Amino acid sequence: MFADNVLIVTIVAAFLIAVLIGPLFIPFLRRLKFGQAIREEGPQSHKKKAGTPTMGGTIILLALIFTVLKFANSSVEVTFLLLVTLGYGLIGFLDDFIKIRKKHNLGLTAKQKFAGQILLGIAAYALLIVMGHDTSLHLPGTPWKLELGYFYFPFLLFLLVGTTNAVNLTDGLDGLLAGTGAIAFGAYAIIAWFGQNYDTAIFSAAVVGGVLGFLVFNAHPARVFMGDTGSLALGGALAGIAIMTKTELLLAIIGGVFVVETLSVILQVVSFKTRGKRIFRMSPLHHHFELTGWSEWRVVVTFWLVGIFFAGLGVYLEVVTIK
């Protein structure tokens, strides 16, 4: 009976741990004066959020670690997932800490952050070699695959760095990333379970529970922000799970919200530099809708619904059409 319900048990356990840790950890962050600095170029309505405790992603990571150690096996797959999750979370932690010390919204430089992400990607690739990992890419919704061989290495770096930064860009409104993240990881828990990648499924479920527990404190009006500690860790975890389930290309569908957010930034920059005109009132895209008059909660819920659509499509393509 437990084996049949292990994903639900894992989600509930991680959720409860996060909910219990939150009331203890948030006042601790306040005492340390670990408040969020708001970027000057952001929406003016966000100024009132200045000083809200950040680095709350630590709550998610603690819930994840305790739950995974309890319910998952000590496998090389779990080791890989913890490496990319905690590794990118550490980069985010350093970024957050520097911002807090400087009392400014600039932490690690872009070069420093990129170098750290690349080095961690190399370490991840080395572990995959030891694991004898499949270097082919499976085309979503089909039985076909494309063998990359040595070209899998640059693809892996692109996947890890791209995903972590795309997820990071989405963390701009109360509950936005927590909700869309829970949806995406929930989809992967289903895919991993049906693919008999049980440890990866449990890991995914633990993230879902931890993120939902964090959402209790992060829903509008947020009492705590996850910071780069949380957003980069979630990006690393999402990419890592896609790698373990051999659904690297499917990630672009399941994480459709993150892709759209990233594209909005790219299009905005390219348009402004080439034509001197902006496509959106502000990027990432969630800020555009804010500035058109949507309430923050309306934007967040709309993005959640879009996330559910993309996640459902991804599960359908992987589980229904293939399995």
Whether cis (ω within 30° of 0) applies to the bond prior to 221 is yes
Residues near 238 by beta carbon (within 8 Å), at least 6 away in sequence: 163, 167, 181, 184, 185, 188, 251, 255
Q: What is the secondary structure of 30-82 as a DSSP string?
A: HHTT-BPPPPTTS-GGGGGGTT-B--THHHHHHHHHHHHHHHS---HHHHHHH
How many Cβ atoms sit within 10 Å of the Cβ of residue 47?
10
Sign of CA dihedral 89, 304, 310, 266: negative
| C-alpha dist (Å) from residue 305 to 54, 217, 277 | 26, 21, 30
Whether cis (ω within 30° of 0) applies to the bond prior to 140 is no
Number of helices and strands in the chain (H, E)? 12, 2
Sign of CA dihedral 250, 253, 255, 258: positive
Give the angle subtended at the CA of 22 by the CAs of 219 and 71, to the nearest 5°.
105
DSSP-derived letter for residue 248 is T
**Is 5 annotated as ligand-binding?**
no
Place of tokens 């049980």: 198
**Is 228 annotated as ligand-binding?**
yes
Measure the CA–CA gap between 40 and 255, rounded to whole angstroms.
28
Q: Annotated binding site for Mg(2+), which residues?
A: 168, 228
Would you list which residues are annotated within the binding site? 168, 228
